[in-house]
């Protein structure tokens, strides 16, 4: 297996340099003298990018506190017994007749399918993740109604049976799960409640069950917190929008900084390096297939 990672310095460091990992340093292909002519602009832009990201992260932290408040109102007014029953029904449907694989250790792969970007919350091509899935189960509900807990229970049950499990995390709160895929039984369970942008409609023919936990919320009891809920939703969205706006500014500032790098790069040499790396990857593939 071969993978490539685009990374800034020390974000992803090689764990086994030479034996397994290798850094391709594109700094070998730029004109340092030309770069030095714009040293001050680059330093200023780089500092500005860091500041903008700090502001964005601060806004996201604020949004998390507000969302926790929102979740508390909903959790207080949710009939947990009915949520437990729905969870049990989903577990039975997903794992009915599925034998455990105790001949091997459990293995999970933790990933993100969604990101907070300069364009907002964006989900990648989910269809590429679901192309071998035969059954999809969707779960929706207000924050605090139990969606996160149910997806976590699905993942834990799969791992307890030693089934390989792909766990896609929420970009806003990575402790939460947005999508669970269990390839061996060709099942996916997804959170389809906004702001998550998983749209199950293209896979309607694969949806085996949909659970909406809002039906287990005591609306009369929740109405007591109408003002607080509306305030929390407004403040949460405002903080999220502010974070996205500053991420967008950081992207524009980074693009400005790149404008000094691009003319100084030797792209012919970079292309030659790319072809060299590609040839090595194809050689590894041929060796693997011949083994």
Quick: pLDDT tens for 39-52.
999 999 999 999 99
Sign of CA dihedral 76, 80, 86, 92: positive
Task: Report the run of H or E that residue 286 belongs to, with start and end.
Answer: helix 267-290
Q: E strands within 141-245?
A: 165-169, 177-182, 187-191, 207-212
List pLDDT tens digits, range 85-133: 999 999 999 999 999 999 999 999 999 999 999 999 998 888 899 989 9
Give me the numbers of helices (H) and strands (E) for the chain, helices first please: 8, 8
How would residue 194 be classed by pLDDT, with cut points 50, 70 and 90? Answer: confident
What are 156's two structure tokens? Answer: 């834990």
Q: Would you kindly state where each structural domain of the chain is located, as residue ranges?
A: 26-61+225-290, 78-217
Collapse the DSSP code of 97 into the 3-class scheme (helix H, G, I; strand E, B; otherwise coil) and give the result. coil
Give 201's contacts (C-beta < 8 A, 6+ positions apart). none
């Amino acid at each position: 297996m071969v993978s490539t990672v685009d990374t800034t310095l020390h974000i992803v460091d090689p764990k086994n340099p030479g034996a397994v990992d290798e850094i391709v340093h594109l700094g070998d292909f730029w004109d340092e003298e030309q770069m030095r002519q714009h040293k001050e602009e680059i330093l200023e832009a780089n500092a500005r990018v860091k500041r903008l990201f700090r502001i964005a992260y601060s806004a996201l932290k604020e949004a998390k506190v507000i969302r926790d408040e929102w979740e508390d109102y909903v959790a207080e007014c949710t009939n947990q017994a009915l949520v437990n029953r729905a969870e049990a029904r989903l577990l039975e449907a997903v794992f009915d007749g599925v034998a455990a694989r105790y001949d091997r250790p459990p293995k999970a792969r933790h990933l993100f399918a969604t990101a907070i970007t300069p364009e907002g919350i964006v989900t990648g091509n989910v269809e590429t993740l679901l192309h071998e899935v035969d059954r999809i189960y969707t779960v929706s509900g207000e924050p605090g109604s139990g969606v996160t807990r149910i997806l976590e229970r699905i993942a834990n049950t799969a791992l307890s049976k030693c089934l390989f499990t792909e766990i896609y995390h929420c970009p806003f709160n990575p402790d939460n799960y947005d999508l669970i895929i269990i390839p061996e039984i060709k099942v996916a369970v997804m959170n389809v409640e906004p702001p998550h942008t998983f749209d199950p409609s293209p896979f309607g023919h694969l949806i085996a069950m949909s659970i909406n936990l809002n039906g287990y919320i005591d609306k009369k009891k929740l109405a007591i917190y109408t003002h607080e809920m509306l305030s929390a939703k407004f403040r949460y969205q405002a903080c999220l929008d502010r974070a996205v706006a500053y991420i967008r500014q950081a992207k524009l500032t980074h693009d400005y900084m790149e404008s000094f790098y691009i003319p100084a790069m030797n792209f012919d040499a970079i292309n030659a390096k790319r072809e060299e790396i590609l040839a090595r990857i194809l050689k590894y593939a041929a060796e693997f297939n011949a083994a």
